[in-house]
Structure 1
Amino acid sequence: MGILTGYRVLDCSIAMAGPFAAQRLGDLGADVIKVEPTSGEWQRHTSAGGIKGNRINVSFLSLNRNKRSLAVDLKNADGKQVLLELVKTADVFLQNYRPGVAKRLGVDYETLSAINPKLVYVSMSGYGETGPYVNNPGQDLILQGMSGAMLSAGRAGEPPLAAGQFLVDAVTAYTAFEGVLAALLHRERTGEAQLVQVNMLDAITTLQMQELSVYTVGGKAQTRSAEPHAHAYIRSPYGAFATADGYIIVAFPSLANFGAVIGEDAFLTMNDEIDSWKRRDEIFARTRERLKHKTTEEWLGLFRAADVWAGPVYGYAELVDDPQIRHNGTFVEYEHPTEGPIKAPGFPIRFSKTPSDVRFGAPLAGQHSRDILREAGFADDKVDSLIGSGAVSETML
């Protein structure tokens, strides 16, 4: 049994941030009911990397394991009533509708908390529920651009650098996940539920606690220089460098120690806290020239022996096969009834008594509609009527 076994979550979210947060709750044992349109959630129909599955595409598959699907038309009066009945038995309601949509649908916090005062209601948005950007699109790359982080790395005069993953979506998902757990803990202690609001702009901004404090408290502006430093606020050398057969990461070593290892005599008399800033580009360029003459493994061996912080630059093929990744059990493997063998990142927190588990993979749209309605107290003839009218849909394996 997972640590959240016995809790019910109604996941009315779409795309990545909301579904990812809900999947985390499902990984810990919560009964997550994915409430989606009768045609299926938007992400079912949008592939990632152009890859599609047999009946479920990879993008949806990756974000919706450990959920059951109820496919219901919330614009249909009978369909909405189904959801309102489920609210009576839920612990968490999660949505990332555009601001104002929940109110129009009649599933806003005020309405649902009146039905179930014990309901933790989580509302996720791009920029907040009110304000000048309330109607702006909350898309990951747009928020990366606003965050300031894209100008904390790379060369001056070159385009800003985006993260190699959907960073803002992922950070927002974890922020919502934390918010749910905190609100449930508060409810357990006091009996009081509440509204939890999470937005992408605040999530990615507060992630940069250290960097932004260097600017707001220390008064030091971001300054990208001529070489592609990995971070504007970290001294040189700091970044990815080409080797004879690939790339290697070097992270702000002692210049004298580092110079001795790579054979760069100019570093031997440099001061780490003065020259590493004043001569940042020179140090980077000298490092780049030295490191290209040996392989990554050769340099890693030398650096480890000299206590220089360094590591390889992986692609996904190397990451998946890394011995520490395999040792940690970072990836889970299971059999999906329509998509076959699945290997995907699992839940990253280990609990000694209540471990996470993959109970089932991502569902088909409406796969569990009939079961969920029966559990909610709907008689079989009423279930047949709802499905027959199109208020609810079901899909069979």
Structure 2
Amino acid sequence: MARVYRAEDVLLGRSVAVKVLRPGVEGSASPERARAEVAALAALSHPALVMLLDASLEPGKPEYLVMEFVEGQTLARALSASPLPPTEVAALAAELAEALHVVHAAGVVHRDLKPANILVTPSPLPHRLFRAKLADFGIAYLLDSARITTPGTVIGTASYLAPEQVRGAAPAPPADIYALGLVLLEALTGTRAFPAASAAEAALARLGAPPRIPADVGPGWRALLERMTDLDPARRPAALEVAVATADLTGSTPVEMATAVLPAAPGRGEEPTAVLAPAHPTGAAAPTRRRRAPVAWGAVAAGAALVLGLGTWAAVSAGTAMPGPAANDPSESPVPATTTSDPGVDPAFEQPADPAPPADEQTQRDAEKAQREAEKEAEKARKEAEKEAEREREEAEDGPGDGDG
């Protein structure tokens, strides 16, 4: 696994984060591509971007990146305690959208935007909780690059992949906008838009329909999030449009659901970046017997693979982390481009006192019912996949030549 160390720059007297890459996992296969990506990322400058300070990518020697050290925690960890007030989400959205505008203008696509790759630091402003920084461009993609990591593969985190990424389309800025929309929706509601039981189910769930955006978030948020998560990439707003739109939402009235502490989504902040073969559309089913690839279930951290006729998922076990407060020891994570859970005391994270009356009981019941239905659907899909795998194994054992007489 890749490892990130907190180190001291003795020349300039500052703390830095040194990310040591493991060859063949996060190190680029092409030295030329590695140098091109590092040069592009080093040229990016924005307050909401973690700065790349130096790099060593010499063949035959350890590869590492030297980055700005950020005191704080990940957005994933902050959301595990509670959703954020809409005004706070709007402010964070504006910062992140501005940063993405800079990134996209430089011809770079992040490809793995998720709460675990967003660092939040305490804000000195009395009306703000945090400031955001977009971290880890470990799988960033240059728009004008002639090569990708492996031809025909898709890299990203299942819960935040855009539909076109699942289908195997080349990474483009609209995919980052889609992922940011899911992140903002999660920050407002406290739950993931696609809380499937497995990475493959989470990815496949978005192919046919956009995420459900509850009316509780308000008309302004709902309109923006619907555009950001449109199934058609061409209909999504550009990053700069999102930054402008969220500026109008900073005065939104807090939604009732944002005042309750909700349980963390399964595996929040720990879902691995994955590599998969693109999902190719299939034609009408023929009446003859079809052969399907087997389904293998296992721990994601150990490298689970799931073949559902739409592509093969393989969890990448190479992880990196940006140190958080008091993270003085080497740390590992099974998630590329995430922040480690630090042993220190997190910045105070409290919701402001809610002067509004308690949430409507019917709204709460509807939300609970929707969550139960989603869990049932996920469990049903998992069981059907297991049954299908068992049937295929039995057919394979019987062999094509087996029969009566």
- The normalised TM-score by structure 2 is 0.19
Question: Is the radius of gyration larger for structure 1 or structure 2?
Answer: 1
Which one has the bigger helix percentage? 1
- The normalised TM-score by structure 1 is 0.20
